[in-house]
Structure 1
Amino acid sequence: MSTTVITTSDAETLVAAARAAAEAAGIAVSVTVLDAGGHLLAFRRDDRAVLISGETSTRKAYTALQLDAPTADLVDLVKPDGPFHSLPTALDRPLLFIGGGLPVHRDGRPVGAIGVGGGTPEQDHAFATAALRELAQ
């Protein structure tokens, strides 16, 4: 039985596609791609991207990977009245519940994640989504 993984080439495709979508919108971003174990496969911060975007893109990718869900779908769950309000502080490695993180699947299984930071949460989510579409081609 072979295990489907996300490759370095896949990670580079994701970074390039997310950056192209962001550049088309005039937004400077950071993009992080993690493998299924949460290890860094690729990272790129545009020269003009705000410094914190590097950290936020990585945390978004990690959160999407750990919970196997888009971070944009998790925002309401961690609000003070949400069912998982304590989740952001429950782990040693911080999670981030802001749009821009998406899990990457192959054969119905999570193999990694992408996180984009630097735009609004909606923009970052759209850039990550564009990257996944490019990878699927």
Structure 2
Amino acid sequence: MSVLTLDMAKEMIEQAEHEALQVGVPMVISVVDEGGNFVACHRMDDALLVSVDIAQNKAWTSVALKMPTANLAEAGAPGAELYGINTTNSGRIVLFGGGIPLRAEGRIVGAVGVSGGSVQQDIQVAEAAVKAFERMVAKV
């Protein structure tokens, strides 16, 4: 059985949506498993349509590269070591914050991606989902 279940993804999304409501910005929250496969996605009322793809790609990027997407901003900047990485993988690589890997049992088991606000707001909402995941894993 996978460490990351649909029920867990739903709880993560609920906690992330609560945080987005506190921030006052409608967002899209996406959860993928360790293979980058879609688990769940939620678009709040009035969230930008473009945010659906961005949130899913942030989650995918985070699990594919085993790091938060925020870590790629500097490395992917012009002249930096990973400049141009965002053009690989059919353009799925996202270079700004809002994607965070989910860790359990000493390994990455999935990721969350959030889009709709500023980069800092997206990170804040994604962190709320990660905290919910960590609470659930700690109970097991």
Normalising by structure 1, we get a TM-score of 0.93
Instruction: Letter of the 1:38 partner, please give it.
Output: G
Q: Deviation per CA, 1:14-61: give whole Å up to 9, x if none.
A: 111111100111110001000111111110101110111111101110
**Residues 75-119 of structure 1: CA deviation (Å, up to 9, x unaligned):** 100011110012111223511111100001111201101000001
**Amino acid corresponding to residue 40 of structure 1 in structure 2:** F
Q: Which runs of 5+ in 1 are unaligned?
A: none
Asked if 1:99 is matched to 2:106, the reply is no
Q: Matches of residues 2-13 of structure 1 in structure 2 within 5 Å?
A: 5-13=3-11
Tell me how far apart the structure 2 counterparts of residues 93 and 52 of structure 1 sit (CA, whole Å): 14
2:138 paired residue number: none
Query: Residues 1-137 of structure 1 correspond to what in structure 2 (within 5 A)?
Result: 5-92=3-90, 94-137=92-135
What value does the CA root-mean-square deviation take over the aligned residues? 1.2
SS of equivalent residue, structure 2 residue 26:
coil
Q: For the residues of structure 2 that align with 1:25 and 1:93, how far apart are their CA atoms? A: 29
Partner amino acid, structure 2, of 1:114:
V
SS of the equivalent of 2:53 reads helix
**2-side partners of 1:40 and 1:133: how far apart?**
20
Gaps of 5+ in 2: 136-140
* Partner Cα separation in structure 1 for residue 69 and residue 60 of structure 2: 10
The two structures have a TM-score, normalised by structure 2, of 0.91
Q: Is the 8 A contact 2:102 2:133 kept in 1?
A: no
Runs of 4+ in 1 over 2 A off after TM superposition: none
CA distance in 2, matches of 1:63, 1:14: 18
Contact 1:101 1:116 in 2 (8 A): yes
Instruction: Measure the CA separation in 1 of the matches of 2:44 and 2:58.
Output: 17
One-letter amino acid of the structure 2 residue matched with residue 56 of structure 1: I
| Letter in structure 2 aligned against 1:108 | G
